[in-house]
Structure 1
Amino acid sequence: MPSDYSDGNPLETNDINMDDVAYCYFNPETAGGPKLLKVTHDKFHRLSHYVSSALLDLRKKDRMYLCLPLYYANTMFSGFGAVVLSGSSMFLSRDFSESKFISEIREYGASWFAYSGSMCNSLMDQKVMIDDHENPITKCVGSGLRADIWVKFKQRYGIDKVGEFYGADEGYGWFFNLLNKDKTVGFCTRNHMIAKYDFIENRVVTGYGGWCRKSKKYETGVLLVEIDEETFLNIDCDRNSKFVHNVLRRGDCYFNTGDLLRRVDVGFSFLLNHYEFVGRVEDYCRWKGANISTIEVSGAIDSVDSVEYCCVYGVAIPGTNERAGMAAIVSTDSELDLDGLSRHINENIPHYARPVFLRELRGVGEKRTMRIESEVLKYEAFHPNSAGDPVFILRPGAENYQLLDAELYQDLISGVAKC
């Protein structure tokens, strides 16, 4: 360092408090358009410390491989912040590339990396190489690793520790997999409950006296996190629909995350309840009396070799108060193998959860990102002229999907034909 530079902190830092805003970011997935979210120095420091010390036990010799954008909310504290606090180093890749992932990790000697769920899915879709596990990686951190590929992902890339975590953007309750258990987001030390949820009425189920009903031991429910008195006084909870009052006792207040979790058995865990992230409330649709997880259906379809990307969502059916499953698919081939896909769906997905509609996404090309935007797809629904893409339907009792034409579409809308 040049002699005319001070090794002390800049004078401006004397005027910065932990409650001041450290940075802001936009969450593009909120209803009504992107929402500006603020992160204080206190929150940034606490979450970064959790990752660097408690979750991954980072040392100065560790080197991170980061191929996700820094404008991702979680990447800032699980990547940049953790590296700064631990005094370790980082290799920042320009973008995520399945073909360059392992080669760059080997070249730059990275010992850990940050992941997203879609990134892990893409890596598992790549052709298996016998030396995939021959790399310096020992641990990783992120959120969204699917339970059905968790163990296979660790074994394939020789990973010892998966630092999965979960947290809502508002940050009222965070879960960390501190004990390195498989297929779990870990535990939370803040008061919380998994409440029963009515997918038809779109509300938390209440019982005698108006109190919220808890889900059964291993049953899926919506996560409610109790907020403290200071938060209650600083936020107008009465006018914010995300807050639920009188949950377990009169006068209490819980934050409704809108996320579905379920408790899982992970063996010995110091009596700390561990949970699996199931999905968002909007990731579920109710069809013919069954609650269907669009994430689980998407995972089953994603395993087909000819499917490059898949997004499953619910679409409203006129004359009912339910939503039928619909899958939008990007094929690796020039034309979708409809017969092969139909067989796979019939063999691997229960009859009640099979998508009623399929949409072959064409012309996505270079505009495709690591995830397919679902809001536009939901809006366009199953109209046969949706963006010029062919739409297929699985009729009751049929084994194969057929093309949905304008005549059949009108019959469905008018109620003449049934799904």
Structure 2
Amino acid sequence: MKMSTRIGRETAFIKGISRLFRRIRPIRPDGTDLVCDDWEEAVDRWPENVAVIGEDRQVTYRELDLMANRFGHWAKGRGLRKGDVIALMIPNRIEYLAAWIGFSKVGVVTALVNTNLTGQALAHCLKIVGARHLICDFETFEAGEEAKGRITDRTISLWVLGLRAEDETSERRGLDTPVKGASAVRPDRSQRAGMTNKDLALYIYTSGTTGLPKAARITHQRARLYMRAFAGATDANQTDRIYCVLPLYHSTGGLCGVGAALLNGGAVVLRRRFSASQFWTDVAEKGCTMFVYIGELCRYLLNSPPHPLERQHRLRFAFGNGLRPEVWPAFQERFAIPRIMEFYGSTEGNASLFNFDGKPGAIGRIPWYLKSRINVRLVRMDEAHAEPLRGADGLCREAAPGEIGEAIGRIGEGAKFEFGGYADRAASEKKVLEDVFKKGDRWFRTGDLMRMDRDGYFYFVDRMGDTFRWKGENVSTTEVAERLSGAPGVQEVIAYGVPVEGAEGKAGMVALRIDGKFDPAAFGEHADRELPPYARPAFVRLLRNAPDTTGTFKYRKVDLEREGWSEDVTDPLYVRSGDKYAKLTPAARRKLAEGALRL
């Protein structure tokens, strides 16, 4: 690396980390200034600035605060007290922010529920947090009504924004009129007397890619940490407009993106859902200067046809996580994005990384001179058992540069070290690793495998649950998907492992979205060139329909894994035998079941 480039990157990193530390320093576990106090401070500083631009209207900081006050007084009027839970299940809209901010002013906890959930999964989310009320809108209330009917051990009141009077029943009531009738005066701080940053502000659910969602406990300390950290890390100001199509029930959009704008006097431009065809029109017409992303969103845009406004915009900065190394340079160049800041973190975790200097592919960096201040370490792993390796003294060992290890974060006092866990205590305990580098210390297990180079840059390798063993080797589904994404005609790749009768471990399988006609020979040649023999998928499924994703654009693999290569699959299936892919015929299926077909 040239000396000038190295100095430039070092300078960018130091400036970024300094801004971040400066904004999070005031957060104390026993402090009585809560997340709503940070918000009210912003309102008092920029009352007439535009705060949120929705799809049908916009509101100033003062107007949003008045709305939040009404939600808070409405909750008090329903008899809710500190620590009680209201579940919020509405798409991105102005009222979303007003509701949870208002509830926090009176000590009420808000559970931010995924709007895509239905049935038993939704009922589970309501039960595990003990929700007493559920707020929906016209788009989600039917799912809410059905789910609450599954809960027999408590009564949950259903409130619907935008519900007409003639549609009200004893089971669902309109919320607009009661909230508008509530006081717009700020609830007095005495309403939250005795509360500290250790108290709960929110529940945010894990995305549930492999099972039922878990409810992460978000204290006021953690909510403030997310919002303040990104207010500093992005260096946003009151002239910035941040485009957010990520769901507000997820921490990346709902706290990181919102905090970057609203704690700096800027505006959030909200859209209910992501649209690749509408993205650049929105960004250009609304004068957006930043946007918050999930990596898959960037990939969708890159795979989309050219748009006349894709370079005619004011964007100067994009921040988010999951931007794949093979997508980053092409995305940045095609759409003329001057700066990209990738970060790593999880809703429930305490291990965070920032790539302030924009090195493509890296999820963050810890230079040697800041190692004691940044709460992430990599521990060497026993691959066979997916557990950290321990020495003769019973303690773990740090992974060396270039060596793959699991990322962990030390648990302790202070915002940077907090692990609030989940509503389910047993699930929380599974994430804690004890006696790591000394007896008695406790660390949060991220479940993410990473490697670090000698300059302190971290690179994501895989989720531990997203690896499988085949032919005596561990196969990374992330690596398989990345390598095969460049195969001829391939638009999307989902990689996973499936069992095969008589075989040890799991065989690789990929589900593909194809542009045009699938060429099995060309695909096989690409797989041979890019992957070692054990990692080449044994099965290929050609998806006729778009794959299911969570609200944060992560693929839901659980259904694909369950269906595998069974006869229930109606999509075209191919199997690799020898060095070629061929259609999975009934005869080949019989040989597989008998263990007679060599994969």
Q: Same fold (TM over 0.5)?
A: yes
The partner residue of 1:394 within 555, 576, 580 is 576
CA offset digits 1:91-114 (Å, max 9, x no partner): 212321222222221111100001
Q: CA deviation at 1:265?
A: 5.1
Match of 2:177 in 1: none
Question: Does the 8 Å CA contact 1:137/1:159 hold for their aligned counterparts?
Answer: yes
Q: Which runs of 5+ in 2 are unaligned?
A: 1-61, 70-183, 367-372
- Specify the SS of the correspondent of 2:433: strand
Structure 1 residue 136: deviation in Å? 0.7
2:433 equivalent to 1:244 = yes
Instruction: Identify the match of residue 10 of structure 1 among 152, 175, 187.
Output: 187
Distance 1:302 1:234 in 2: 37
* C-alpha RMSD of the superposition: 3.1
Specify whether residues 234 and 165 from structure 1 end up closer, same or farther in structure 2 by C-alpha distance, changes over 3 A only.
closer
Q: Distance in 2 between matches of 1:74 and 1:254?
A: 23
Q: Equivalents in 1 of 2:407, 2:358: separation in Å?
A: 22
In 2, the alpha carbon distance for the partners of 1:179 and 1:8 equals: 44
Q: Is 1:329 the counterpart of 2:527 in the alignment?
A: no
Paired AA for residue 572 in structure 2: P
The count of residues paired between Structure 1 and Structure 2 equals 405
1:343 positional shift: 3.2
SS at 2:247's partner residue?
Answer: coil
The TM-score, its normalising length taken from structure 1, stands at 0.86
Distance 1:233 1:186, change over 3 A: closer
Are the structure 2 counterparts of residues 68 and 395 from structure 1 closer, same or farther at C-alpha, using a change threshold of 3 Å?
same
1:205-220 superposed matches below 5 A: 205-220=389-404
Tell me the distance in 1 between the aligned counterparts of 2:487 and 2:186.
Answer: 55
Separation of aligned partners in 1, 2:596 and 2:530: 30
Distance in 1, matches of 2:489 and 2:428, equals 48
Q: Note closer, same or farther for the CA distance 1:327–1:34 as it changes in structure 2 (3 Å cut).
A: same
Q: Structure 1 CA distance, aligned partners of 2:356 and 2:249?
A: 25
SS state of the match for residue 577, structure 2? Answer: coil
Distance in 2 between the 1:255 and 1:222 partners?
11
Once residues 464 and 191 of structure 2 are traced to their aligned partners in structure 1, the CA distance between those partners, rounded to angstroms, is 44
Match of 2:124 in 1: none
1:13-412 to 2 correspondences below 5 Å: 14-15=191-192, 17-29=196-208, 32-53=211-232, 55-128=233-306, 132-187=310-365, 189-228=373-412, 240-264=429-453, 273-304=456-487, 306-333=489-516, 336-362=518-544, 364=545, 370-383=553-566, 385-396=567-578, 398=579, 400-412=580-592
Return the letter of the residue paired with 1:204: P
When structure 1 is superposed on structure 2, of 175-184 and 12-21 the one drifting more is 12-21
Question: Offset of 1:325 from its aligned partner?
Answer: 1.4
Distance 2:420 2:358 in 1: 36
Amino acid at match of 2:584: L
Letter of the 1:275 counterpart: F
Q: Is the 8 A contact 1:411 1:417 kept in 2?
A: yes
TM-score of the pair, normalised by structure 2: 0.61
Shift in alpha-carbon separation, 1:238–1:42, aligned structure 2, 3 A: closer
Alignment-derived partner of residue 31 in structure 2: none
Q: Distance in 1 between matches of 2:375 and 2:549?
A: 40
* 1:390 maps to amino acid: P
Structure having the higher helix fraction is 2
Q: Secondary structure at the match of 1:147?
A: coil
Amino acid aligned to 2:396: C
The one-letter code sitting in structure 2 at the alignment partner of 1:392 is Y
Which SS does the other structure have where 1:99 is aligned?
A: helix
Quote the offset at 1:89 in angstroms: 0.9
Mapped to 2, the partners of 1:126 and 1:298 lie a distance apart of 19
Q: Whose relative contact order is higher, 1 or 2, with alpha carbons under 8 Å and at least 6 apart?
A: 2
Q: Which runs of 5+ in 1 are unaligned?
A: 267-272
Task: Output the CA distance in 2 between the equivalents of 1:239 and 1:20.
Answer: 17
